[in-house]
Amino acid sequence: MIHLTASQMASKLIAGETTSVELTQAHLHRIAEVDSNVHAFLFVDSKGALEQAAAVDAKRSAGEKLAPLAGVPLALKDVMVQKGIPTTAGSKILEGWRPPYDSTVVTNLKNNGIVILGKTNMDEFAMGSSTENSAFGPTHNPWDLTRIPGGSGGGSSAALAAFEAPLAIGTDTGGSIRQPAAVTGTVGVKPTYGGVSRFGLIAFSSSLDQAGPCARTVLDAALLHEAIAGHDPKDSTSINAPVPQVVAAAKTGDVKGMKIGVVKELNGEGYQSGVRLRFEESLELLADAGAEIVEVSAPNFEYALAAYYLIAPSECSSNLARFDAMRYGLRVGDVDGASAESVMNLTREVGFGREVKRRIILGTYALSSGYYDAYYGSAQKVRTLITQDFNKAFEKCDVMVSPTCPTTAFKIGEKSNDPIAMYLNDIATIPVNMAGIGGMSLPAGLAPEDGLPVGFQIMAPAMQDQRMYLVGAVLEAALLTRWGAPLLSQAPELVGK
């Protein structure tokens, strides 16, 4: 049962062939069996999940009309607050904290009857590309346990690839939904900025952060997208407009006449050969399906990474000031006569990891008077140029495409002492966040040289998220015909390793 897609699970629930309790138990059993190897979860809420499942089953028996995904289990990235459930954002500084409220995403999940299995591992405060920055140890890639599952949302994507959950929530500030999806052979979507509420999403870089769906198929991602999206008065940047019809788009199956723009700057030197091979193959499949492949250029993407690593740390230095030892979680050095300042210093010294400290220092520097214009101000100008590049390119095409990542999953430890090498993983995903548009990654096959998954990225103009689902679903179907079975059926068995 755990190998079904979420929409297949939902159909079985509706047909009365299974119950939510049974489905939830099957996943809890799988987690117990494999998660000591994968470490996708930081907290498993067995009791709460079974209670939620029983409640959905009771409503179904009573003949209540339920949402499409009602009764299907999900894994929640630990950056999203859930009332009463330990929430750490991968940081020691929040250890022991239980949020007094639900994030809007969690409220929406609950209203849809989606069963929350637990909280997934992540880079501390979503800063990273490998989940090695978690204060609670790394997550392992189910394709090869010695490799990273991507980051920052490695736990969510690994849980999908290991069949510990059919659905997951991720957040994407510079690629943290799409990059883990790419290296685990799963699907991840960063919606248009403002499409999904940020209320209760622990802030890293508020102008870039966006929650979105993670799944094993494009249709499942679309179903989850519609469940969590929508206007929220509690988030001042939430879009007050109807949610894009992404489920209908995923079922359309026709890209005839659509123009697919290959981004010249994101497809060439620096990309692993197997990544390029699978990318080119996917383009051929889309052309066979009737799409027109064109080349587009985005000259300012070259500066996206540098600008991102000024803007994101700047915003994080401000956002993380709230962890002052007074309000949440950890408190160190609170002895008689200690000043608030010394308690704050000691707590932040012990509570934050190296990468978080590096970014706070960088961001504080970039925002300091005298440097503000030179660094933060210039980065914001680059951001505008990137948006203009997208606007120009979208005059020539309906969606833009690129490989999601330059390489397949690397070894745990390989880049952990080289921040720049780590940052470069996001070279192809960051422009989307800078412009606030939507981006999707879906599996394009395995790189012949290492047998590891490759991701294909689709980018759509703001509030046109349905286009990614349309193109993604057509490509997914074409690839499925070629492979004969879903990519994940080729992933090695995890039990007992």
Applying CB under 6 A, the residues found at the interface with ligand GLN are: 126-129, 152, 172-176, 204, 312, 426
Which residue, 128 or 200, is less far from ligand GLN as judged by CB?
Answer: 128
CB-CB contact of 279 with 444 (8 Å): yes
At its nearest, how many Å lie between ligand GLN and the CB of residue 61?
41
Could you give the C-alpha distances from 286 to 281, 346, 470, 480, in angstroms and in order? Answer: 9, 56, 11, 13
Those residues whose C-beta lies under 8 Å from the C-beta of residue 332, and which sit 6 or more positions away, are 325, 343, 346, 347, 349, 350, 351
At its nearest, how many Å lie between ligand GLN and the CB of residue 462?
18
At its nearest, how many Å lie between ligand GLN and the CB of residue 297?
24
Which residue, 127 or 167, is less far from ligand GLN as judged by CB?
Answer: 127
- If 0-12 CB within 10 Å is exposed, 13-18 middle and 19+ buried, where does residue 231 land? middle
Distant-in-sequence contacts of 318-326, Cβ < 8 A, 24+ apart: 318/363, 318/367, 319/203, 319/204, 319/205, 319/206, 320/125, 320/352, 320/356, 320/360, 323/93, 323/94, 323/347, 323/348, 323/351, 323/352, 324/348, 325/351
Find the length of the chain: 497
392 is catalytic: no
Q: Which of 40, 6, 50 is nearest to 164 (CA)?
A: 40
List 12, 20, 77, 134, catalytic entry: 77
List 129, 152, 314, 441, catalytic entry: 152
Which residue, 291 or 316, is less far from ligand GLN as judged by CB?
Answer: 316
At its nearest, how many Å lie between ligand GLN and the CB of residue 114?
23
At its nearest, how many Å lie between ligand GLN and the CB of residue 152?
4
157 is catalytic: no
Which residue, 164 or 209, is less far from ligand GLN as judged by CB?
Answer: 209
Which residue, 291 or 409, is less far from ligand GLN as judged by CB?
Answer: 409
List 7, 134, 176, 314, catalytic entry: 176
- Name the DSSP letter for residue 243: P
* CA separation for the pair 169, 176 (Å, rounded): 11
At its nearest, how many Å lie between ligand GLN and the CB of residue 292?
31
77 is catalytic: yes
Which residue, 175 or 453, is less far from ligand GLN as judged by CB?
Answer: 175
Distant-in-sequence contacts of 280-283, Cβ < 8 A, 24+ apart: 281/444, 281/445, 282/444, 282/445, 282/456, 282/475, 282/479, 283/401
Active site residues per annotation: 77, 152, 176
